[in-house]
Amino acid sequence: MIVRNVLGRSSTQARASWFSLFGMTWSVAWLLLPLVFLTSFTWAQTSLPPRQSGYELMSPATRAMQDDEALNPATFWILDGQTLWNESAGKKNVACAQCHGDAATTMKGVSASFPKMVNGKLLNLQGQINMCRQTKQESSAFQLESKPLLSLETYIGHVSKGMPITVERTAENAEPLEAGRLLFEQRLGQLNLSCAQCHAERAGLKLGGNVIPEAHPTGYPIYRLEWQTVGSLQRRLRNCMTGVRAEPYALGSDELVQLELFLMWRARGMPIETPGVRP
């Protein structure tokens, strides 16, 4: 018995006419399936949930301060960083420029890839700069949060402005990344709040008149109007901890670098804004 569809065509005839519309045969159709799978797979990997930078929540005046290099106070740190990049230092008496050439080319995308595992140790960009200072220049490490270190970090970070953050989960960083995630979800302080409770669950809602940002580290080091100077992500994280009345982790501690790693991974794909301006 032949089953006929609404147009009075048999199933075989209907199928045949549909296919002929596209000039297809069954064999071709099957061959195209892996292609469909590959496209969908790639799409699924790269499409991340939409994220919002704290930039979007700022007033037009503050945004203008970030966007205009002539108004952004952090521009001075970029210029200082450039000077340091070309200055010889240490027992080896070499400058960054001697190994790395013109930062504008060679440092492209570098800050967007930190923190990362370097010789089995998790390093943020400040840690990498200090490692080069000590091993390649044979000089002393810069003090954390010092002006020269922040200047170099801002200079190198600025080179990646506009580029997407490329921190991904790898076999190497899986452990510290997981540690960072746990820290992000850990309740802290007298107020007993975790980062996640405000910045993941309540982002977009208000806390004391301020809109809660998602807290992505796209602009670091930033010129924070509150500090009236440029500072690192670690300094800002310590402020967050003071905010929930917790004893802040020390600068350079494992916990802070793990948190940095998790935050950068969480913001992967978002464009670097260094140097940002934030209230």
Tally of residues, the chain = 279
Q: Is residue 201 close enough to count as binding other proteins by CB under 8 A? A: no
Q: Is residue 19 close enough to count as binding other proteins by CB under 8 A? A: no
Contacting residues for 229 by C-beta, under 8 A, at least 6 apart: 223
H or E segment and range at residue 222:
strand 222-224
Among 66, 80, 152, 155, binds other proteins (CB under 8 A): 80
* Least distance from other proteins to the Cβ atom of residue 201, Å: 16
Residues 47-66 that bind other proteins (CB under 8 A): 58-59, 61-62, 64-65
Among the listed ranges 13-21, 67-75, 85-93, 174-182, the one in contact with other proteins (CB under 8 A) is 67-75
Residues 207-246 that bind other proteins (CB under 8 A): 207-210, 224-229, 238-240, 242-243, 245
How buried is residue 271: exposed, middle or buried, by Cβ count under 10 Å (0-12/13-18/19+)?
middle
At residue 240's C-alpha, the angle toward residues 234 and 246, to 5°, is 105
Distance CA 218, CA 198 (A): 18
192 Ramachandran zone, left/alpha/beta (phi>0; psi -120 to 50): left
Q: Is residue 153 close enough to count as binding other proteins by CB under 8 A? A: no
Q: Do 9 and 17 meet the contact criterion of CB atoms below 8 Å apart?
A: yes
C-beta closer to other proteins: residue 101 or 279: 279
Q: Is residue 76 close enough to count as binding other proteins by CB under 8 A? A: yes
* Least distance from other proteins to the Cβ atom of residue 196, Å: 15
| Chain residues that interact with other proteins, rule: CB under 8 A | 58-59, 61-62, 64-65, 70-71, 73, 75-76, 79-80, 207-210, 224-229, 238-240, 242-243, 245, 279
